[in-house]
Structure 1
Amino acid sequence: MRIRAVLFDADGVIQVPTVDWRATLRTFLRPDQSAEEFVLDLMTSERPSLTGKGDFREATAEVLRRWEVSTPVAEVLALWEQFAAVPEAIDVVQELRAAGIPCHLATNQQAYRREIMNDRRNYGQWFDRSFYSCDLGVAKPDPAYFKAIVTAIDLPPSSVLFVDDTAPNIDGAREAGLYAEQFDLSSGVPVLRGLLHGYGLPVATDDPEQRQQG
């Protein structure tokens, strides 16, 4: 086995929310309304835009009308901007790239959030290539998402490692023939380093045993 490229998910792997957005969404509702159902409605309305079908802004506006929410659409959409990349995780990506291992962003996003990540915050500078589901027209966990990426980077699936925080996405990647590992930032970046080191990838690790194996 030789890993020749690594795909990194975004949310939960290299970036985290900076607000409790679910709690904030609850404040937009009347006391007699179900916050859980409201959040589910928003998430359901977002799905088409994750594959580039429909406008997320318009879908959100429709949900707010349906729930009789008076909060401006722009204020609700601002919650999707409340996230930050974790420097320690980005450092890992840069170590791999400096050692000659291409690293690519592989994330489910609608165009509104893609614009924030790619255009406003220049995420592309941290990766060799960025693959947003809204551009590919297919989203994780569909194996076709991963097949589209390996075709674009011109590598066999068996030479690519995918890291994501969600089990169904891991299953989809493995079905497409990639190596895949589940990781969540809540477990700490040293765990990510250990995971990558276990595949023989050139990253520093704080584990003395792993250093000896390397």
Structure 2
Amino acid sequence: MTIEAVIFDIGNVLIEWNPERFYDWTLGRAEREAFFAEVDLHAMNDAVDAGAPFRETVYAWAERHPDWAAEIRMWHDNWIDLASPRIEGSIALLRALRLRGVPVFALTNFGIDSFAYAQTQYDFLTEFDQAFVSGHMGVIKPDPRIYEMVEADCGVAPGRLLFTDDRADNIAAAQARGWQTHRFEGWQGWARRLVAAELLTEKEAGL
């Protein structure tokens, strides 16, 4: 089936997202492991991604866990260090698709405030034809509702969407809706998938 639009996840597709690595650098691995075992930071982040205010949510968690308050606040105060670096090969593919006139969307678990801030740091986050951001939608992947909302808004039939994401559960949820998918494990594999779909030539894909 002909692909009419390509959908990119952002974290670990266009930007590396590895909070554990950041805290390993700042605290050391042993202390980071103790910290993460005691405080469920990913649950905190899910709340932000579902629409809770970024700073207020993080700082409220810091107040609830005074032994780790300074470290928790770093999730907000040093956030761009958690969400970096850029994945240049994927950014080049996004731009190559747009040069070919292929509609390119984002579908991302991202907070309202953190996404707005990220757009000031990463120019390519303003280049999507449409950006579907969980914080604004009030639901996060892999909940089926978020995929339904994308379909309704973009007007493209599920089978004509090609979606890449690094997480197997997000991919499985998209497949259940009938989307074409690619599990992202590196920009080169994604490039080959786009070439196989005849959306880019090998040269355009940087291969």
Alignment TM class, shorter chain as reference: 0.7 to 0.9
Change (3 A) 1:206 1:106: closer
Change (3 A) 1:172 1:181: same
- In the alignment, structure 2 segments of 5+ residues that lack a partner are none
Within a 5 Å distance, the mapping from 1:144-155 to structure 2 comes to 144-155=145-156
Q: 2:8 matched to which residue of 1?
A: 8
- In the TM superposition, what whole-angstrom CA distance separates every residue of 1:180-211 from its partner, at most 9, and x where no partner exists? 110123xxx2221111122222242599xxx9
User: What is the CA distance between 1:72 and its match in structure 2?
Assistant: 7.4
User: What is the CA distance between 1:157 and its match in structure 2?
Assistant: 0.6
Change (3 A) 1:135 1:25: farther
Moved over 6 A (4+): none
1:42 pairs with 2:41 = yes
- In the alignment, structure 1 segments of 5+ residues that lack a partner are none
1:142 pairs with 2:143 = yes
Q: 1:114 matched to which residue of 2?
A: 115
CA distance in 1, matches of 2:68, 2:22: 16
Change (3 A) 1:120 1:198: same
Within a 5 Å distance, the mapping from 1:192-207 to structure 2 comes to 192-204=190-202
CA contact (8 A) 2:96 2:204 kept: no
Task: State the TM-score, normalizing by the size of structure 1.
Answer: 0.81
CA contact (8 A) 1:96 1:203 kept: no
Q: Comparing 43-52 with 17-26, which one deviates more in the overlay?
A: 17-26
Work out the percentage of aligned pairs sharing the same amino acid: 22
CA distance in 1, matches of 2:135, 2:75: 21
AA aligned opposite 1:60: V
User: What is the CA distance between 1:18 and its match in structure 2?
Assistant: 8.2
CA distance in 1, matches of 2:128, 2:201: 16
Change (3 A) 1:163 1:76: closer
- In the TM superposition, what whole-angstrom CA distance separates every residue of 1:61-92 from its partner, at most 9, and x where no partner exists? 23222332352765441332122322221111
Question: In angstroms, what is the RMSD of aligned CA positions?
Answer: 2.8
